[in-house]
Structure 1
Amino acid sequence: MHIQEIEKRAAQLKKQLGGKIFAFPVNEADPFSKYAITMDLGGGHFKTYPKPMTINEVAACIKMLLEGLKEEGVNADYSRDVRFISYQAQMDAPDVTMRRLKKSNVDKPLMESGVDVMPHPDDPETMLFSARGIVKFSLLEMLDKNPKGARFMDEYFKLLALRRYGKTAAAIRQEVRRMSKSEAIRWVERTYERYISDSQEIMNIVRLIGGASL
């Protein structure tokens, strides 16, 4: 895939999904495809890495790009700015990272690779969660009757109640408990987009409960 093709694809993804940093397989049908990575600089211009990377190299590169943006004073956020795309062929690949995703039930449609989770750049056996991914994971834990996940979600429900969701935290909890897992995951996506303006709010909940849900 040539740089011009990569940037054209990134422009399409930006139009569809938003974001600033884009990573996707150079050959979506190849389970072992390497990934292209590019960053939108504005005005139709991109900073594109000329050589494709492995999924773990891309994860490390994304981490570096986000840190660089923050050092420049840019309010960069993984959930908002990164679109790390994997297609079905890659999700089905006999790769340790993808096996980890499936083993943890971190797969479509519950978790979105590149938005909710990404491989740890230093340990491919470990997944990194974005703020939205933390909420999804905690929700699944709550639905599986894990008290730590329930504690996290109670704080999330309180936050939504303060944001004019229209119900008390207790009523929101009852609403969610009546949902199937897939319905609840879609609910998280909707509420996170509408009511959460800064991922730091989720990190504050993590700190409040001592990281107990993760």
Structure 2
Amino acid sequence: MSSLNIPETCGVMLLPDCTLFPHGGLPLHIFEPRYRMMLADSLQGTCFFAIGRLLGKETDDLSRCAAPLGTMGLVRASRELDDGTSNLLLHGVIRVKFMDWLDSPYPKARILPVPSIFEPESQSNAALAALHEASDQVTRSLPAEVREALINMTQQIDDPSILADVMAQQFLHDPDERQDLLEMESAAARVAWICKKFESQA
């Protein structure tokens, strides 16, 4: 991640019931003036901003109404429309902890990157096999072509922490469960949780 030049501060888009995982994609329509300003600053700089979950009504004290951890994303594509709003695709890069909320026209925080590393490495193959089995089970009710495309995508991922995040982005829908999983410190614990969750849905 160091090659990506993760900034020390970034803008944060606060959304209710929305969680972005690393390696996931999130289409956004930017229309609020403050977020239009945030996007302009982002595109002129690093092309990064974060997604944070808004917990209840937004107040002046963002530390009380925003989840403590979100995901920094990279703007992959952005198109400004005639009315000044924009459509874009944000690609999740890394979990970040919101350390301090800064004085800014839009939500902005000093951030601490939270890398995701699966340990112990000796159990990586077993974790991948379990995740692939869970993926097979959770996609059984999908149309054949969609199921095949999703399984092919997951089969190409050889890091269980990445695969767990990709599966969470694709298949986990409950907002509270998504946020809890995002904040779970251990990648191995996230893998175990996902496998148990999706096996129970089979």
TM range (shorter): 0.3 to 0.5
More strand by share: 2
Question: 1 or 2 for the larger relative contact order (CA 8 Å, sep ≥6)?
Answer: 2
Q: TM-score, with normalisation over the residues of structure 1?
A: 0.31
Please report the TM-score for the alignment, with normalisation by the length of structure 2. 0.32
